[in-house]
């Protein structure tokens, strides 16, 4: 556990962080959020002593960070910043293996670890010999996460790690991070100014304003009961929609679909299922909805896949962006699991809205 | 052309001396220059560095002939004077380029290193120096090119470099001598620059 105890930081006479008392639980993602200048990054950097606290203390598993050697403290804490933090003159392998090397691991162990991480972040092995400039923004950021994980630290500090990435890639990076966190169970402190990101990733969210805590709770409670106007404004007028990001698409899955081969389309006369997924050899060609078919529209629509962790909000946004009605849920181990329809997801939202307004 | 063939051995000697005093003055300038360049990029020395570079910048604006003559007044005739003045002349670009490229490294990269637990020395060696190599190289190339050209002036204080051919050629109005002297100096400069460029490309694969 990480405990912040009466933690303050002041520059000259001005407090940028004021008397914080917070506990971050092991294995959870705790998100620090607030407008710029609220002290979120300062708080984060005090944990690995990139910034020295002016007052108060930080304890990691009961031991004060001042009782650690500064350098050893940092080697034991993973640190992820925006993509620029990769060292451009090091290959991907050298970037990832930097901390293990400093920790004095032998070469065999280092190589094994790097390969393990490359697999984890879904990076082809051939990329390990490349330089950062040869990678895309999303790939670089995944390498940034891998580099922070290399020394197998218990704690990860992440300072707006996905901030410089375009929205679509940011979503997939978030999904990727949720996925790996499920098995890694690191204690993560995550700084962001994106409320959707905070709700999606956070087990706990800490809302900061002018260096002080406004509200510290899980996303569900923050969305249900924002403590004051400031938090309400931060959540925005559409906070009921944001609640959809706490629900998994998988829980609203429909299974009355059938996979058919492309040449079979012409033979279809009636639908028993409400969705046909059309395949040709191993490629998915598209889908046809029962309703469309009965109205005489037989052309295939574009098929979109999501994984089993995708939340309802991301699913809806994806559908709206691409102008489609149906998403197929496909997981790596089990293949196609079923589908989600836009109408069904919107009904979930309506129901929520109704319940909230009658409370 | 006849001049070149008839005096081949003397020209060769002059060329060797020319290269010799260039290297003997530039090498220490590079080593000390990089060292000072690093020092001047450290927070506590930035102001001092500016004053130092300002002063040496002024020295550099003195024409090379005058400068060599000036040093000669203190240290007398001979190779020592030539090397000393070339050294002073060429150290400035090295310091300047080293300092400025070190200062320009994005703060994020350094902080990433710090956050990963690199100590100050490791940050300098593993991050800062490699990232400023391009600038350091361009400083070295500038100072070498300056010195190869300026070494011709050493002739005025009695060190026989390729400047001798040019100087005599000028006095006796021999166009062929001027050509031979000038072209050889240029070829040396181009060759050295080419060599350094190759080394630079090898070192900076990641750019």
d(CA B160, CA B15): 9
Q: Which residue in B110, B112, B204 has the most chain A C-beta atoms within 10 A of its own C-beta, making it the best mutation to test that interface?
A: B112
Q: Smallest CA–CA separation between A131 and chain B, in Å? A: 6
Tokens 């304003």: give the residue: A209
Highest mean predicted confidence (pLDDT) among A235-249, A265-279, B111-125: B111-125
What is the reported pTM? 0.80
Phi, psi of A350 (to 5 degrees): -60, -45
Comparing CB atoms, the residue among A76, A89, A98 nearest residue B206 is A89
Yes or no, beta carbons of A88 and B206 under 8 Å apart:
yes
What's the mean per-residue pLDDT of chain A? 89
pLDDT, averaged per 10 consecutive residues of chain B (207 residues), comes to: 82 92 94 95 88 84 83 84 88 92 89 91 93 93 92 87 90 90 93 93 81
Distance between CA atoms of A176 and A183, rounded to whole angstroms? 12
Mark yes or no for CB contact B206/A131 under 8 Å. Answer: yes
Any A CB within 8 A of B182 CB: no
CA distance A306 to A287: 15
Helices vs. strands in chain A: H and E counts, helices first: 13, 16
Q: A157: nearest CA in chain B?
A: B115
Convert the pLDDT of each residue in A159-214 to its tens digit. 999 888 888 788 888 988 998 999 999 999 999 999 989 999 999 999 999 999 99
SS3 A61: coil
Helix (H), strand (E) at residue A17: strand A14-24
pLDDT of residue A107: 94
DSSP string for A184-222: H--EEEEEES-HHHHHHH-SEEEEEETTEEEEEE-HHHH
> A161, A153, A159: which is closest to A102 by C-alpha?
A153
Nearest residue in A to B134, CA atom: A89
Residue in this structure with the two tokens 């005739």, named with its chain if needed: B77
Residue carrying structure tokens 């389309």 = A265
Tally of CA atoms within 13 A in the half-sphere of A11 that contains its CB: 6
Q: Round to the nearest angstrom and report the end-to-end CA distance of chain B.
A: 44
Confidence of residue A23 (pLDDT cuts 50, 70, 90): very high
Q: What ipTM goes with this model?
A: 0.76
Residues of A within 8 A of B131 (CB-CB) are: 87-89
Quick one: closest CA in A to B205, which residue?
Answer: A89
Calculate the CA B157 to chain-centre distance: 20
Question: For residues A107 and A141, what is the distance between their CA atoms, to the nearest angstrom?
Answer: 25
Tell me whether residues B111 and A82 touch, CB distance under 8 A.
Answer: no
* Cβ neighbourhood burial of A12 (10 Å; 0-12, 13-18, 19+): exposed
The model's pLDDT over A321-357, given as tens digits with 9 standing for 90+, comes to 888 888 988 887 788 889 999 888 888 888 877 877 7
């Amino acid at each position: 556990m990480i405990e912040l105890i009466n933690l303050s930081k002041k520059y000259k006479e001005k407090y940028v962080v004021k008397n914080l008392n917070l506990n971050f639980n092991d294995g959870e993602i705790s998100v620090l959020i607030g407008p710029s200048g609220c002290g979120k990054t300062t708080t984060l950097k005090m944990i690995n002593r990139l910034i020295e606290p002016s007052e108060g203390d930080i304890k990691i598993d009961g031991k004060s960070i001042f009782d650690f050697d500064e350098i050893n403290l940092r080697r034991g804490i993973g640190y992820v910043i925006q993509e620029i933090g990769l060292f451009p003159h090091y290959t991907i392998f050298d970037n990832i293996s930097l901390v293990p090397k400093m920790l004095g691991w032998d070469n065999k162990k280092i190589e094994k670890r790097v390969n393990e991480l490359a697999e984890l972040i879904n990076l082809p092995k051939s990329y390990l010999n490349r330089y950062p400039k040869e990678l895309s923004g999303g790939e670089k950021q995944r390498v940034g996460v891998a580099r922070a994980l290399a020394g197998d630290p218990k704690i990860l500090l992440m300072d707006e790690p996905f901030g410089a990435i375009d929205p679509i890639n940011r979503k997939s990076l978030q999904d990727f991070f949720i996925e790996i966190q499920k098995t890694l169970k690191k204690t993560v402190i995550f700084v962001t100014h994106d409320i959707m990101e905070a709700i999606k990733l956070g087990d706990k969210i800490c809302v900061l304003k002018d260096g002080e805590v406004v509200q510290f709770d899980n996303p569900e409670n923050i969305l249900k009961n924002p403590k004051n106007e400031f938090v309400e404004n931060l959540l925005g007028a559409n906070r009921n929609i944001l609640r959809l990001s706490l629900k998994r698409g998988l829980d609203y899955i429909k299974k009355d679909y059938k996979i058919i081969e492309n040449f079979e389309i012409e033979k279809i006369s009636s639908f028993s299922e409400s969705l046909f997924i059309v395949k040709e050899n191993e490629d998915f060609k598209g889908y046809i909805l029962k309703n469309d078919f009965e109205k005489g529209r037989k052309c295939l629509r574009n098929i979109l896949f999501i994984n089993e962790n995708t939340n309802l909000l991301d699913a809806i946004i994806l559908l709206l962006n691409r102008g489609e009605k149906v998403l197929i849920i496909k997981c790596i181990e089990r293949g196609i699991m079923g589908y989600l329809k836009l109408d069904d997801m919107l009904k979930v939202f309506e129901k929520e809205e109704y319940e909230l307004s009658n409370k | 052309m006849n001049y070149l063939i008839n005096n081949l051995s003397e020209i060769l000697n002059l060329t060797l001396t020319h290269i010799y005093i260039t290297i003997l003055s530039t090498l220490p300038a590079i080593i000390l220059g990089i060292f000072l360049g690093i020092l001047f990029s450290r927070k506590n020395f930035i102001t001092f560095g500016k004053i130092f570079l300002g002063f040496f910048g002024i020295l550099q604006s003195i024409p090379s002939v005058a400068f060599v003559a000036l040093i000669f007044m203190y240290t007398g005739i001979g190779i020592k004077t030539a090397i000393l003045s070339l050294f002073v002349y060429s150290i400035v670009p090295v310091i300047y380029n080293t300092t400025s490229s070190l200062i320009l490294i994005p703060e994020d990269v350094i902080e990433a290193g710090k956050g990963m637990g690199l100590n100050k020395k490791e940050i300098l060696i593993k991050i800062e120096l490699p990232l400023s190599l391009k600038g350091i190289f361009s400083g070295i190339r500038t100072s070498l090119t300056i010195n190869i050209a300026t070494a011709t002036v050493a002739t005025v204080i009695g060190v026989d470099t390729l400047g001798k051919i040019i100087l005599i050629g000028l006095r006796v109005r021999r166009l062929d001598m001027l050509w031979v002297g000038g072209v050889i100096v240029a070829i040396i400069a181009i060759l050295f620059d080419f060599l350094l460029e190759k080394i630079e490309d090898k070192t900076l694969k990641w750019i």
